[in-house]
Amino acid sequence: MMNLWKVGQYRRMPRLIRPNLPPDVEAAVRFIGNRARANVLRQLAILGPSTIGQLQAELDIGRPSLNRHLEALEDDGLIETDPPRGVRQGRDVTYAVQARRIRSLARTYLDYVEGH
């Protein structure tokens, strides 16, 4: 029997694996479904506003990975930076949790899962 996946006749992921979700539900899945990001958020909530050096001292994660997670969390509005992206120019950046945004995404996710 020929395996059609190897032949290349099926090129798209099945919809069950990659469904089209509302943007805020996608954002919730990105942080709820990622253990490292959940841990970064937790540490920021515990520590309060922190620099990347302070976070790295608390987390068992390399700096490049931590940078990627912080950037993704910032893109989704889950953390805020001071100074904001685009005006940093060598200055230390302080990261802070945006608890209201996290709660909002969590509610949106639950509403979606419950069919509301």
Q: What is the pLDDT of residues 68-93, one digit of tens each?
A: 999 999 999 999 999 887 776 667 89
Question: Quick check: is 47 in a domain?
Answer: yes
As beta bridge partners, residue 81 has: 95
Is 105 within 8 Å of 31 (Cβ atoms)? yes
Question: Quick check: is 102 in a domain?
Answer: yes
Q: Which residues of 76-110 are buried (b: 16+ CB within 10 A; e: fewer)?
A: bebbebeeeeeeeeeeeeebebbeebbeebeebbe
Helices (H), the chain: 4-7, 23-32, 35-47, 52-58, 63-75, 99-113
Which domain does 53 fall in, by range? 21-113
The reported pLDDT for the residue numbered 15 is: 56
Domain count along the chain: 1
pTM here is 0.76
We report the CATH number of the domain holding residue 90 as: 1.10.10.10
Among the listed residues 11, 47, 37, the one whose alpha carbon sits nearest the alpha carbon of residue 105: 37
